Amino acid sequence: MAILFGFSHECPIPFNGRTAELTEATSRFRKLSVLMPVYNEHYTVESIVSRVLGVPLPAELTLELIIVDDCSTDGTEDLLKKIESTHGDQVVLHRHGANQGKGAAIRTAVSLATGDICLIQDADLEYDPRDYRRVLAPLLSGDADVVYGSRFTSSEYRRVLPFWHSTMNKFLTTLSNVLTDLNMTDMETCYKAVRTSILKSIPIRSNRFGIEPELTAKFAKRNCRIFEVPISYAGRTVEEGKKITWWDGLKAIFTIVYFRVVDDIYNELYGHDILHSLSKAHRFNAWMTDTVRPWVGNRVLEIGAGLGNITSKMIPRASYSPSDIDPLYLDYLTNRFANYASIDVRKVDLEKDADFDEVVGSFDTVLCLNVLEHVPDSDRALRNMYRALEPGGNAIILVPRGQWLYGSLDRVLEHVKRYSPTDLSDSCARAGFEIERLISFNRVGVLPWFLNGRILRKTRFGKFQLKIYDSLVWLWRIVDRLIPLPGLSVICIARKPTTAAIS
């Protein structure tokens, strides 16, 4: 079993209902990137580009149009070059050397996007850019992370099209809903507006029309706030140039099922994929939380809160400040706990003294679980935790134990080191703390970690293995203290002396 564990981390406009924060959230959006995949649209592309560039947007937004020509062969390429030369300040043009499909074109467009919000626009005339304001509204207000323009909710108008085409759309949406636990009305819609930071962090694997169910599944697994708004729709028939076929519908079914099973929801950035897997270990996280709970007060600063696994188990408190340095996590935390008046999400870097200047002596508890091992200057980090505490307050620090266990899993998680109890207690003492208690935690995880990290040299945790381990946490709680091994982690309860000055 590739388990371990010593990880507590857990995907975005900050919005918690307060006017000042809403204004701040809205003001963050300065540019809209319209992503337009194009393939053999000689007779429509000029019209749709003109409509996109001429659409009125909210005053705070500028627009860039990113066109990816998926190796058109009908003269579209020449028209696009003409458009680029005329509107070079707003249009970015890229051409694929071979036809790859809509999904591949959008993947390329996402990589070129520089806006704060991305909106997908087909190159035909089925979708009307005049609906942009409606689609963007939930994003700009701070309510949504993703907005779908639905063709099947009430709208001003829609073209009546063949029964079986709309029936297949509704069937695919229903199947997607069953497996994602959403209640969407139109999963297959083209109009999807997404915060760019989220879209860039999601790997797009589908090259053709499977991108629609793929993105939907990944937005759902990332716990994004998804909204739908009604849009007008002037669909075209196959005779008029529609490219999607019954075969794409069958592949969509496979895609829906596949991405229900596979958790491929983060690009290869540090730790995101692993930490998301660990966020599903609810019983383990509860065990870790219960172990440290007796020393947690009512005014808490949590360092490296990630996806809020520990936060959710520690609240309610009089005041709770989950923090992180990763923008994706900060956005996720802000959205997840938007309705909690006592929660104040902060960006806090343990190695930056300035991040602690405004919170000196503000907390009775600093919770730092599986973070210190990532910090090169651990002495500075501990001094900053010390500063944040009031006299008599506790720093609760959990780190991976035993340098002899350092292996491939530590490297992929960018652990600077693993600690011995002496290392940790000495470091805390240098920062001014009094050591109240050292706790050996998770002895049962030592051999699996050694096997997977040192012998097998694995770089990720198996989903099935995690489920087995987590399902047996009730047993680990009983036998852990009986196992004649040091723990996989060591917990230090470090107290700031009651006589210490606040500085």
CATH of the domain at 109: 3.90.550.10
Q: Which of 233, 248, 263 is the last residue of a domain?
A: 248
> Are 241 and 381 in the same domain?
no
Under the banding of pLDDT at 50, 70 and 90, the label for residue 408 is confident
Under the banding of pLDDT at 50, 70 and 90, the label for residue 272 is low
What local confidence, expressed as pLDDT, does residue 21 receive? 42
Which ranges in 113-245 belong to alpha helices (H)?
A: 132-140, 163-180, 196-200, 211-221
* 25 vs 462: which has the higher pLDDT: 462
Q: Is the pLDDT of residue 235 over 80?
A: no
pTM here is 0.74
> Are 377 and 236 in the same domain?
no
Count of C-beta atoms within a 10 Å radius of residue 430: 12
CA distance linking residue 117 with residue 200, whole number of Å = 11
Average pLDDT, integer, range 184-197: 93
53 in any annotated domain: yes
> Are 115 and 70 in the same domain?
yes
What local confidence, expressed as pLDDT, does residue 339 receive? 81
CA distance linking residue 11 with residue 23, whole number of Å = 22
255 in any annotated domain: no
182 in any annotated domain: no
> Are 243 and 351 in the same domain?
no
364 in any annotated domain: yes
Average pLDDT, the chain: 87
> Are 426 and 296 in the same domain?
yes
Rounded to 5 degrees, what are φ and ψ at 249?
Answer: -65, -40
Nearest to 145 by CA among 266, 306, 11, 319: 11
> Are 411 and 450 in the same domain?
yes
Per residue in 4-14, pLDDT (tens digit) is 444 444 333 33
Q: Is the pLDDT of residue 138 over 80?
A: yes
400 in any annotated domain: yes
Residues of the domain holding 379: 272-495
CATH code of 367's domain: 3.40.50.150
> Are 63 and 196 in the same domain?
yes
387 in any annotated domain: yes
Average pLDDT, integer, range 253-265: 87
> Are 195 and 343 in the same domain?
no
Cα 212 to Cα 120, 130, 323, 330, 467: the distances in Å are: 11, 22, 33, 27, 29
CA distance linking residue 146 with residue 24, whole number of Å = 19
> Are 196 and 297 in the same domain?
no
91 in any annotated domain: yes
CA distance linking residue 457 with residue 450, whole number of Å = 9
450 in any annotated domain: yes
Per residue in 15-41, pLDDT (tens digit) is 333 333 434 444 578 999 999 999 999
> Are 287 and 360 in the same domain?
yes
What local confidence, expressed as pLDDT, does residue 275 receive? 65
> Are 317 and 198 in the same domain?
no
How many structural domains are present in the chain? 2
Residues 6+ apart with CB under 8 A from 475: none
Under the banding of pLDDT at 50, 70 and 90, the label for residue 163 is confident
Average pLDDT, integer, range 204-215: 92
Q: Is the pLDDT of residue 307 over 90?
A: no
